[in-house]
Chain A
Amino acid sequence: MKRILMGLFVFAFTLMSVTGAMASDKLIKGNMRIVIGSKSTGGDTYQNSSIIAEALSKKLGINVKVDAIGGSAGFRTIQRTGQDGTTVMIYHDQAYLGYLYGVKGYEEMFSTYKVGPLLAINPGNAYLVPKKSPYQSVDDIIDACGKGTQVRVAIQPGGVSEIGYTALKNAVSVKYPGKQENLVAVYTGSQADKNQLLFDGQADLINGSVQANEQYTRLPADDQKAMRFVWLTARNQTLEQANPEGMGKTSREELMQFVEPKAWVPYDDKTNFTFDKEFIFLYNKDIKPEIVEYLDNALAEIYAEGKIQQTQKKSFFIPDFMPSTKSAPYFKAKMERIKKIIDGMK
């Protein structure tokens, strides 16, 4: 009995020493919590973050959990904690768009947080009309506003859906100066609410996504729920990287009809407005630089292995890794570009 006990003691001691040595190799010890800027576990942020979390968990050998707590709560969380990398945030362009639109709880992200790596693009940010709508294209909508018809757009305020609305308003002003007031925002919440406004005839155009609305576009025209895409904000080059099968039963080729050059939303006289919805890591401002590097390296290795790209593409994301050193200036430039258009429409 004594021998068994001694054996067990030696085994436990050895195990503790080995795991202790392994743990000392890890810069992030214990669990890692990824808070996301969305309260939904059914949306693209949760889906993409889960893919990243699973890959990081395997790579770093730690538990990584995604918590859908929403924008403001997420920001507060990483401001309060996370210097050691155990709490990080994944969000998308709304992180700075919210600030540009003056939404409470959204601070200037470059001075308040540490901007981490870019992870992926969701090329599915879309605008839809009822299938029976007289507007066949986004151009028809711009022209209708120009001719004095009021067009109501259902969006969620202060985010990615509003930037499309602002761009469309800008496009009306470029093509028909002074007529932009004919494009009216109907502020609402979830995708369900936006869809409902379309079903009720209270909106002529809604913000949606390829992922959430594709099935509605396949319904027969006499169905009250039937919709049609008219515009995807993604760049042509971005969508070209999506799987050829596209999403659901809508192929990539079919979706290409709703991006430039087929769908043209003038930014100015010469250029078209495009917007790729991109996902990034955000950290506590005082996060240790070695942790930032550690996560950058881990993600670089994950992307170099190539498996994550397949998973992301299967879920209609475009893999697009960019380390922290490059992503911060990249997003700063993107924010400046977007700021101009928002300021112009204020």
Chain B
Amino acid sequence: MIHTVLADITPTFLILIPLGVFIGIFFGAIPGMTATMAVAVCLPLTYSLSLNEGLALLLGLYVGGISGGLVPAILLNIPGTPSSITTTFDGYPMTLKGEGEKALKVGIASSLFGGVFSMIILFFFAPALADVAIKFSYVEKFLIIFLALTVIASLSSNILFGVFSGALGVLLSLIGTYDISVGGNGETRLMFDFMVPYLEEGFSLLPVLIGLFGLATIFEEAAKGITEEDLSADLNLSNKVRFSWTVFKGQFINLFRSSAIGTFVGMLPGVGGSAASVLAYTQQKNFCKEPEKMGTGEPSGVIASESSNNGLTGGALIPLLSLGIPGDSTTAVLIGAFTLQGIQVGPLFIGDHLDTWYTMVIALAIANIAMFLIMFFAIKHIAKVITVPKYILFPIIIMMCVVGAYAINYGIMFDVWTLLIFGLFGYFCSKVGIEVAPLIIGFILGKSAEIYFVKSLESFGTLTIFFTKSPIAMFLWVLIFISLGYSIYSMVKTHQKKQEDAQK
């Protein structure tokens, strides 16, 4: 067996992995382009490669694509991929404090930890965990998403406005068709008839995300007015705070917990990477000593977000390789590589194709190391992007956003309008008190929450099933109440502290 595996590790195999990682990083880093797109675009290339070489390229793209999302999230406040949304919460404030390079390196090292952690879990426990994953039916998946939604309370600066914003996000996500491909009735809702040609499939996630975060930030800066003097003064890299490994001191539990959450959520088909990073971020906020500092440029927030979204990579491969069911949208494309080679992926895949299985794990390990080396040592050059004068940088970002939005669904102009609409909406949100982070989390998780809620009711016919379905469901309720209770408790505590400070 070792001979067979070693024979598969050809020079081409070794070249394709870092090449994939490199291309993937670009896809992840360009707003609007994702790891899924990188894998989809390169999938036809695997026709001319052997299965193992094809997988090497695609796994490199996967790891690179997921990791690349942290670059715009940290430097520009634009999540490169939906799963890097929580990276913006602390990463961008760090950049504003002149700690951009430090934040990037923290993110890269955390990504490596999350990726390697999930790879180890995948290697040792894949079939056993796949059996755990199938215990999560519609009901449990709904509760996981509900748990992730509780972050809205924790992230809100005003709980009423926050919950309203979250609910608004959920509502916006439901605009469009209740798709038959998810078992829906194919009917459109929440729109007038004249909107159907544009909104039949609802608003695309990435244009909304980039609009609300990236474009809105640019509009705000533009509204303030840019003078030549402050073009790069506040973000000057010469004032940067240097990265030191000591930043990880005391962060082991955070790293471990967030990577485990990422891996766990990844192995639940249909839940998605954004839920993983949102859950990991909430848990870090709930368990850290100074939750009020989260969101103001705390490295622990970047650690939680990035270790969890890279933890997703190995996690999402668990159901793919043990059940033949992709864990996320990227592994759903990855399955195409097997199909194109005429190979069945299913519960007997690992046993039937041991050499491919070992080669995949080796490719994942190399991809994670390559990702770390490429990004860690190139990052100080990439970080220089923030020294580019804003009057040059912003038009380039807008252009990239527009190109990314146009490309995401292979050339739909309405996606560009979506970007602009949500850019303006995001700008006005800050004026009227609507909170963007809860809104976007509601938007990301709303559709899945609806599907699993409706399907649970259709399957079981009663609301009580959410409480009684299984011990897992009951345990998830405990977590939901703890998460909500803790959010309210810390909010009251912060409020009291503010009042005490004011009295002093």
Contacts and interface: CB of A to CB of B under 8 A. Distances in A.
Report whether chain A binds chain B: yes
Interface of A: 39-43, 46-47, 50, 53-54, 65-73, 98, 103-105, 156-159, 186-193, 195-197, 199-200, 202, 211-216, 218-219, 223-225, 247-248, 314-315
Contact of B134 (A70, A199, A212): A199
A29 B55 CA distance: 32
B325 A191 contact: yes
A6 to B, nearest CB: 38
Interface stretch (B154-162, B220-228, B343-351): B343-351
Minimum-distance CB pairs A-B, first 4: A215-B346, A42-B335, A41-B336, A189-B182
Q: Which of A39, A159, A188 has the most CB of B within 10 A?
A: A188
B325 A41 contact: no
A156 B342 contact: no
Interface string B296-333: 00000000000000000000000100011110000011
17 contacts: A40-B335, A41-B40, A50-B44, A67-B410, A69-B410, A72-B200, A104-B188, A105-B200, A156-B180, A188-B455, A190-B181, A192-B326, A196-B137, A212-B346, A215-B344, A224-B134, A314-B342
A43 B137 CA distance: 23
Interface residues of B, number: 48
A70 B201 CA distance: 11
Given A41-B332, A214-B344, A215-B324, A66 B183 contact: no
Nearest to A98: B180
B291 interface: no
A188 B183 contact: yes
B185 interface: yes
Contact of A192 (B177, B186, B269, B333): B269
A186 B333 CA distance: 27
B181 A156 contact: yes
B180 A158 contact: yes
A184 B455 CA distance: 15
Nearest to A197: B459
Given A66-B44, A72-B200, A225-B134, A157 B348 contact: no
Contacts of B201: 72-73
Nearest to A65: B44
Contacts of B183: 156-157, 187-189, 193
Contact of A315 (B44, B319, B323, B342): B342
B335 A41 contact: yes
Contact of A40 (B47, B179, B332, B459): B332
A218 to B, nearest CB: 6
B193 interface: no
Contact of A158 (B186, B336, B339): B186
B131 interface: yes
A189 B269 CA distance: 12
A193 B344 CA distance: 18
A296 B200 CA distance: 33
A285 to B, nearest CB: 18
Contacts of B50: none
A69 B137 CA distance: 27
Contacts of B340: 47, 50
Contacts of A196: 134, 137-138
Nearest to A162: B180
A70 B181 contact: yes
A224 B137 CA distance: 13
A47 to B, nearest CB: 5
B270 interface: yes
B187 interface: yes
B458 interface: yes
Nearest to A42: B335
A212 B324 contact: yes
Given A41-B332, A47-B339, A50-B340, A200 B348 contact: no
Contacts of A158: 180, 186
B225 to A, nearest CB: 42
Contact of A225 (B177, B181, B182, B323): B323
Contacts of A199: 134, 137
Given A186-B458, A225-B347, A192 B410 contact: no
A86 B326 CA distance: 31
A11 to B, nearest CB: 28
